[in-house]
Amino acid sequence: MIRRRDFFTGLALSVGVLPVPAWAQSADWEFIEARARGQSVYFNAWGGDPQTNAFLDWIAGETKARHGIDLVHVKLTDTAEAVTRVLAEKAAGRSTGGSVDLVWINGPNFVAMKDQGLLSAPFATDLPNWRYVDKRKPSNLIDFTIPVNGLESPWRIAQVVFVYDEARTPLAGLPKTASAMLDWAEAHRGRLTHPNARNFLGATFLKQALVGLVPDRDILQQAATDATFQTAAAALWSWYDALRPHLWHDGRDFPETGATLLQLFADGEIDTAISFNPAEAANGIANGTLAKSARVHVLDGGTIGNTSFVAIPYDAAHRDGAMVIANLLLAPEVQARAQDPAVLGSFTVLDLAALDPTQRAMFQKVDDRAGMPTNAQLGAPLLEPHPSWMTRITGEWERRTSQ
Amino acid sequence: MLSWAPFLTILLVAGPVLAGLIFTGLPALDVMPSLGRTHPSLAGFIVLFHMPGFVTALRLTLVTGVGAALLSFALAVAFSAEALTRPSWRWLTRLQTPILASPHSAIALGFAFLIAPSGWIVRLLSPWATGWTLPPGDLVTLRDPWGLAMVLGLTLKETPYLVLMIISASAQVPARSLMAAAGALGDPLAVAWIKVVFPSVYRQVRLPMLAVLAFSLSVVDMPLILAPGNPPPLAVLAVRWLTNYDLSMYVPAAAAAMLIMLIVLASGALWWVAEWPVAWLARVWVERGGPNPLLDMILWSAARLAVVLGAAAFAGGTGQALWSVARLWPFPDARPVAFTLATWTGQAQHSLGTIAVTVAVAGAVVGSALVLSLACLEHMQRQRGRLGLGMQALVFAPLLVPQIAFLFGMQVLLVRLHLDGTLIAVAWSHLIFVLPYVLLSLSDPFLALDPRYAASGAALGAGRARVFFALKLPLLIRPIAVAAAVGFAVSFAQYLPTLFAGAGRIATLTTEAVTLSSGGDRRIIGVLAMLQAALPLAAYGLALGAPFLLFRRRGGMRP
């Protein structure tokens, strides 16, 4: 049984990868949809955010109703868990029937999976909804400077913002650049911190500073070498060494995750917190975790942005079902729902110009919710540095800060 | 016919531990054939020792692990001495059940909210007494460099467990006559209890004490909340590396796991060896006689410290209950500014399925653990033996060997058996931890059962099977119900085993709670903490109620 299905999967893949006429692709897609029916797809995605969990619950209902697929959300504490699991399966010599069908990843996790050969065949460009994806947005095609090449499919956009409380600390008094942050922290001892740099968001805090401090940003788009890292990072570390003693807990201990950082902000232990979700303040106000006066702002000169993707591991047991779900995540009505601040407030990966007027209208809901930034306020996102920068920064940060 | 029982038990319980140790021990020595590493080396240990902050991590592990175990033991002994000699303290022992029922992570989160600079205590005093309208930035009460918050958090959870063990052990020694004799000598009652009763109780408390020591040295979920993270204690470090996508970190991670195991073995051995001089000194001291005002004072204050810590656990739980119905609760308000039931209703629909899985797994596990334990005990009794030392060591291995030293290896075993990610695998991984506790709580009542019942039964012509089912089981229904309740609580609390054996696919209330606590919404964490405590409490309630229901018609059997 299993062998026969694998044969068909392989056949379908080889067809999908070759340049074939559109009619053949659609016939192919129907074939995939038909086979996907009745599958149970294990979608491994970080489970720490109740709003994302609720959204994936809704997606599960849609996949069941539209495609007869059971979507099981495997809630991860850290995406690396799923990567390790696939790696363990590879180490155990397993090549089919893997336990992860679809995984929410990007950046370093993507590179890790790609480098270890845990993602076998491209699929994203075969998805019918791929035609709506905004190909002019670099982060949809290039994940942390690594070309995606169809190995993962985009589903939401993230950009660095800083959350603050308008009533407590008006924006005018808050730092708008990395160097201003240093003066501000000196004047406001213990009122600033960032997640542990081993955490994705913690490393992003340092990368954001690096982007602001380095004289030539372009070198960040190439893999870091000992030489480039030393020169570029010198500015970062002299800034950080001066900043650290003024951070929360004297810069000796750091919150483990972005969520604990936000909790510190909500408790009033710190005045501003980095976040990767432009809708963080609006969402917090809506569900009551943040005060009504919570707002977000970006730094002068812009902030780092990236796209979140879903990928299918090489040994996924239900590749067809995973593809159908990846496709559904790109459907205009699904993307419009995700962009609704009452649901997720995550910005769409689609090109609105590629949609028809009725589809476009779904995205043009007037958004007057408190705390939601406008596109103009967010500005154009800056590119993520090559992942090697993040790895090196994390390692060096650990060396410098471990007691 | 019953001779299969001990073998099967050892195979099911000790087998995975041994296999797991091998599959963790080999990578610790840099042997991972699937990655092309076949030459044993100490590279992993060298990486570990050269890691920035290694000494701090080691110190944290030792201070928090050994400190918490010693403090819990001292407080438990002092509290038991007071509680067992003062009728007015009796009711306090009954209040321990909710603490016993709550999982470690929930206790830690409740305690953290209590003592944090922005926590409940500061909120209750601010701003009227402290003048703080914002949390004090220079006050470090949580995640302190020495891990004191962690020691207190662990002590809070472990003391009630040791008290329970001491109290149930003291029920089996002739405490009353011993105390009557000692009281005549004029010592304060608590001191007299330490002198005459505790020595005979201690032997039965040694194993639980060593289990507490092993657990405290290797716990993973509590330090994430209470201990500093930069560097964290070794166990957290090991898990952090094991879940790293850089597979080469597996080697130092396994080395760290093995190091923790060596620390556990060494400190356990040290504890055992220290018993000799301590016992000798104690004997000299008891024989010398005379008043002991200092000991009396120490006991007095330690027992009250135990009560204060118990009260802190309750306050933490109350804080979580309030959060679960809070809409917004900003600093420095002493209570939520607005209430809502939305968190409960929102969480209810998600949690029902999870609760069903949690209960189903626990039910299967506890059922198997009871059958295996009773079969083992019946077999032992027919062979006129007690549990041999070797058998004890094997069955209790999972409690004495740190989880992280074998769970990862066990996952490899499950992958090879194609069982990973199944309910069977999760149930098996729970059984490893549930069975020792069930056996531990059943063996004394079983072996203490008056043999004349069985003799009378046999004299009346009943076969051994009929004696077992018609006489022993009904007579033992109360301890069986209690053992089942303990088993349910242990199964409900398993986090790492569920995560690894279930390949993340099987979600129980505890994995759900830990995942959602990575999202940090205290209201949802509050709901889950309540549910996590409610399930085992319901099991305890059923265990206490079951004999009443079952023996409606047998007046003489009612407890």
Q: What is the pLDDT of residue A5?
A: 40
Rounded to an integer, the average pLDDT of B7-24 is 89
- Of the residues B245, B420, B498, B524, the best mutation for testing chain A's interface (the one with the most A CB atoms within 10 Å of its CB) is B245
| Cβ–Cβ gap A85/B138 under 8 Å | no
Q: What is the pLDDT of residue A6?
A: 41
Rounded to an integer, the average pLDDT of B185-193 is 82
Query: Would you say residue B497 has pLDDT above 50?
Result: yes
Mapping DSSP to helix (H, G, I), strand (E, B) and coil, where does residue A59 land?
helix
- Using one digit for the tens of pLDDT, what is the confidence trace for A255-274? 988 888 999 999 999 999 99
Task: State the pLDDT confidence band at B106, using cuts at 50, 70 and 90.
Answer: confident
Tell me which residues of chain B, numbers 347 to 406, contact chain A at a CB-CB cutoff of 8 Å.
350
Residue whose tokens read 């703080």? B132
Task: State the pLDDT confidence band at A179, using cuts at 50, 70 and 90.
Answer: very high
> Is B504 in the A-facing interface, judged by CB distances under 8 Å?
yes
Q: What is the pLDDT of residue A22?
A: 47
| Cβ–Cβ gap B135/A268 under 8 Å | yes
Express as a percent the part of chain A with pLDDT over 70: 92
As given in the structure block, the two tokens for residue A50 are 């109740």
Query: Would you say residue A132 has pLDDT above 90?
Result: yes
Decide: A191 and A203 in contact? Cβ < 8 Å: no
**Segment of B2-6, B145-149, B289-293, B550-554 carrying the highest mean pLDDT:** B145-149
Q: What is the pLDDT of residue B467?
A: 87
Q: What is the pLDDT of residue B445?
A: 84
Q: What is the pLDDT of residue B386?
A: 63
Closest Cα to residue B257, out of B20, B502, B15? B20
Q: Given A75, A252, A262, which is nearest B520 (Cβ)?
A: A262
Tell me whether strands A102-105 and A40-46 are parallel, antiparallel or unpaired: parallel
> Is B230 in the A-facing interface, judged by CB distances under 8 Å?
yes
| Cβ–Cβ gap B231/A291 under 8 Å | no
User: When comparing pLDDT for A377 and B302, which is higher?
Assistant: B302
Task: State the pLDDT confidence band at A3, using cuts at 50, 70 and 90.
Answer: very low
| Cβ–Cβ gap B145/A81 under 8 Å | no
Q: Which residues of A touch B338 (CB under 8 A)?
A: 288
User: When comparing pLDDT for A211 and A17, which is higher?
Assistant: A211
C-alpha to C-alpha distance for A319 and A39, rounded to whole angstroms? 10
Decide: A330 and A127 in contact? Cβ < 8 Å: yes
C-alpha to C-alpha distance for A14 and A30, rounded to whole angstroms? 16
> Is B503 in the A-facing interface, judged by CB distances under 8 Å?
yes
C-alpha to C-alpha distance for A357 and B106, rounded to whole angstroms? 51
Q: What is the pLDDT of residue A164?
A: 97
C-alpha to C-alpha distance for A320 and A328, rounded to whole angstroms? 12
Decide: A126 and A153 in contact? Cβ < 8 Å: no
As given in the structure block, the two tokens for residue A299 are 């730094």
Decide: B446 and B476 in contact? Cβ < 8 Å: yes
Å between A273 CA and nearest CA of chain B = 14
Rounded to an integer, the average pLDDT of A342-370 is 83
**Segment of A339-348, B107-116, B508-517 carrying the highest mean pLDDT:** B107-116
| Cβ–Cβ gap B52/A399 under 8 Å | yes
Å between B16 CA and nearest CA of chain A = 17
pTM: 0.86
Label residue B288 exposed, middle or buried (CB < 10 Å: 0-12, 13-18, 19+): exposed
| Cβ–Cβ gap B520/A259 under 8 Å | yes
- Of the residues B54, B226, B230, the best mutation for testing chain A's interface (the one with the most A CB atoms within 10 Å of its CB) is B230
Q: Given A48, A266, A398, which is nearest B516 (Cβ)?
A: A48
Mapping DSSP to helix (H, G, I), strand (E, B) and coil, where does residue A399 land?
helix
Residue whose tokens read 């657990």? B215
- Using one digit for the tens of pLDDT, what is the confidence trace for A190-201? 999 999 998 889
Q: Which residues of B touch A87 (CB under 8 A)?
A: 245, 247
- Of the residues B56, B518, B523, B525, the best mutation for testing chain A's interface (the one with the most A CB atoms within 10 Å of its CB) is B518
Å between A252 CA and nearest CA of chain B = 7
Hey, which bits of B380-459 come out as E strands? none
| Cβ–Cβ gap A269/B34 under 8 Å | no
* Residues in contact with B556: Cβ distance below 8 Å, sequence separation at least 6, in sequence order: none
Q: Searching chain B, which residue's CA lies closest to the CA of residue A391? A: B246
As given in the structure block, the two tokens for residue A59 are 């997606």
First to last CA, chain A: 56
Rounded to an integer, the average pLDDT of A148-174 is 95
Q: Which residues of A touch B412 (CB under 8 A)?
A: 88, 92
Q: What is the pLDDT of residue A2?
A: 39
Q: What is the pLDDT of residue A163?
A: 97
Q: Searching chain B, which residue's CA lies closest to the CA of residue A193? A: B137
> Is B59 in the A-facing interface, judged by CB distances under 8 Å?
no
Exposure class string for A342-362: b at 16+ Cβ within 10 A, else e: ebbbbbbbbeeeebeeebeeb
Å between B135 CA and nearest CA of chain A = 5
| Cβ–Cβ gap A47/B516 under 8 Å | yes
- Of the residues A77, A260, A290, A394, the best mutation for testing chain B's interface (the one with the most B CB atoms within 10 Å of its CB) is A77
Q: What is the pLDDT of residue B552?
A: 67
Supply the Cα-derived Rg of chain B in whole angstroms: 24
ipTM: 0.82
Q: Searching chain B, which residue's CA lies closest to the CA of residue A290? A: B328
Q: Which residues of A touch B244 (CB under 8 A)?
A: 80, 84
As given in the structure block, the two tokens for residue A355 are 């949609």
Q: Given B145, B421, B504, which is nearest A81 (Cβ)?
A: B504
Report CA-CA distances (Å) from B556 to B469, B548, B552. 18, 11, 10
Single-letter residue type at A370: A
- Using one digit for the tens of pLDDT, what is the confidence trace for B195-221? 888 988 898 888 889 999 999 999 988
Q: C-alpha angle B279/B260/B50, rounded to 5°?
A: 130
Q: Which residues of A touch B120 (CB under 8 A)?
A: none
| Cβ–Cβ gap B143/A116 under 8 Å | no
Rounded to an integer, the average pLDDT of B314-327 is 94
> Is B459 in the A-facing interface, judged by CB distances under 8 Å?
no
| Cβ–Cβ gap B412/A88 under 8 Å | yes
Query: How many alpha carbons fall within 13 Å on the CB side of residue B361?
Result: 33
Task: State the pLDDT confidence band at B553, using cuts at 50, 70 and 90.
Answer: low
- Return mean pLDDT, chain A: 88
Query: Would you say residue A355 has pLDDT above 50?
Result: yes
Q: Searching chain B, which residue's CA lies closest to the CA of residue A72? A: B505
Closest Cα to residue B491, out of B530, B542, B535? B535
- Using one digit for the tens of pLDDT, what is the confidence trace for B407-444? 878 887 887 888 888 899 999 999 999 999 999 888 88
Q: Given B53, B118, B224, which is nearest A256 (Cβ)?
A: B224
C-alpha to C-alpha distance for B15 and B395, rounded to whole angstroms? 10
- Of the residues A199, A249, A280, A399, the best mutation for testing chain B's interface (the one with the most B CB atoms within 10 Å of its CB) is A249
As given in the structure block, the two tokens for residue A286 are 């809506």
Q: Given B118, B240, B514, which is nearest A267 (Cβ)?
A: B118
- Using one digit for the tens of pLDDT, what is the confidence trace for B384-408? 766 677 777 788 888 888 888 888 7
Express as a percent the part of chain A with pLDDT over 90: 60
C-alpha to C-alpha distance for A268 and A254, rounded to whole angstroms? 16
Which residues, listed in sequence order, are joined to residue A304 by a DSSP beta bridge? A382
- Of the residues A164, A196, A267, the best mutation for testing chain B's interface (the one with the most B CB atoms within 10 Å of its CB) is A267
Task: State the pLDDT confidence band at B558, using cuts at 50, 70 and 90.
Answer: low
As given in the structure block, the two tokens for residue B541 are 């309630």
| Cβ–Cβ gap A85/B230 under 8 Å | no
**Angle between helices B4-28 and B403-416 in degrees, nearest 10:** 100
- Using one digit for the tens of pLDDT, what is the confidence trace for A31-78? 999 999 999 999 999 887 888 988 999 999 999 999 999 999 998 888
Q: Searching chain A, which residue's CA lies closest to the CA of residue B417? A: A92
**Segment of A291-300, A367-376, B439-448, B454-463 carrying the highest mean pLDDT:** A291-300
| Cβ–Cβ gap A94/B412 under 8 Å | no
Express as a percent the part of chain B with pLDDT over 90: 39
Decide: B532 and B321 in contact? Cβ < 8 Å: no
